[in-house]
Amino acid sequence: MFDRKTGRRGFTLIELLVVIAIIAILIGLLLPAVQKVREAAARLQCQNNIKQLALATHNYEAANGYLPPGQNSNSLIGTLGYILPYIEQGNIYNMIPQNALVIPGTSGAYYLNGSSWAAANNTVKTFLCPSDDAATTSPTQSTFANVAASGGGIGGASWGGNPYPTLGRTNYAFSAGATGQNSPAPYSNWVGPFTTDSKTTMTGIADGTSNTIFLGETLGGTDVGARDTVFPWIGTGGMATAWGPLTPSSWTTYGSKHTGIVLFGWGDGSVRPVRKITGTTDWWSTRWYQNMYASGMNDGMVIDFSQFSN
């Protein structure tokens, strides 16, 4: 449209609408790309977190002569609590009384008491995957006080609803192997490094650290829809691997918000993506056995990583 007074050509309404439509289309095309870039960055940060946590257990072992336990049977403090000084969180670690960290533990040292509870209410960024909202979500069912695999299953205690929203949470759990210590056969063949009151040494991992899972991602609940449950970092003990990285995930399984995969850290500090299993556990399949071989530290089996990883 030509304006005779100014001698300038303006936009007609139709032209303006066409321009707006083109811009909207371009934004629509750009958003998925931006989301992919964000997820790639979040996944990279998650990988870095897992690597730091795995290497922190090496430093703990160098200082103490053995790896930290999966969980302390008295205080119910899990592996993450023991490695705080090795991820530059010494101030939080120093809030926890020594009697709560002695293995196998001192009676009456449950972390709900005194300064251990104050420590537990701190959020530690390295314990959180940026692809998830574990630190801020309000679970619909419960916040766990503690959880660990032992005796052929997974057990724990939880508070109904979300009465302790400030309790520091985690997206990572160390591996107790198939179902933890004191498991019945055949699960007893695949015990992992981080069981209740364990003092595993690097030399005690006969399969080698590059062939043994140390930790993986967990949501402490479902990866589909609203979060039902969440885990606190202080009370998350050695998790079982027998159920596999399912989707939908649950408090008994490893899981993540990454599309199609769950990240696992190995004893040598490497991080590998493992494909999610949709629906139910693929019991006794070739892939399931390979996962068990990777979970056990002394089974002597050769792992075919192509069976279960991307």
What's the pLDDT tens digit per position in 135-153? 999 899 988 999 999 888 8
Mean pLDDT of 265-290: 94
pTM for this entry? 0.88
Q: Is the pLDDT of residue 2 over 50?
A: no
Average pLDDT of the chain to the nearest whole number: 89
- Contact between 229 and 144 (Cβ < 8 Å): yes
Q: Which residues pair with 217 in a beta bridge?
A: 172
- Burial class of residue 40 in the structure, from the number of CB atoms within 10 Å of its CB (0-12 exposed, 13-18 middle, 19+ buried): exposed
Q: Which residues pair with 291 in a beta bridge?
A: none
User: Where do the structural domains in the chain lie, given as residue ranges?
Assistant: 13-307
| pLDDT-derived band at 229, boundaries 50, 70, 90 | very high
Q: Is 134 left (phi over 0), alpha (psi -120 to 50) or beta?
A: alpha
| pLDDT given at position 8 | 54
Distance between CA atoms of 60 and 80, rounded to whole angstroms? 11
- For the residues of 209-249, what is the DSSP string, one character each? GGGSEEEEE--SS-SSSS--EE-BTTTB-PEE-TT-SEES-
Give the pair of three-digit tokens for residue 296: 């056990």
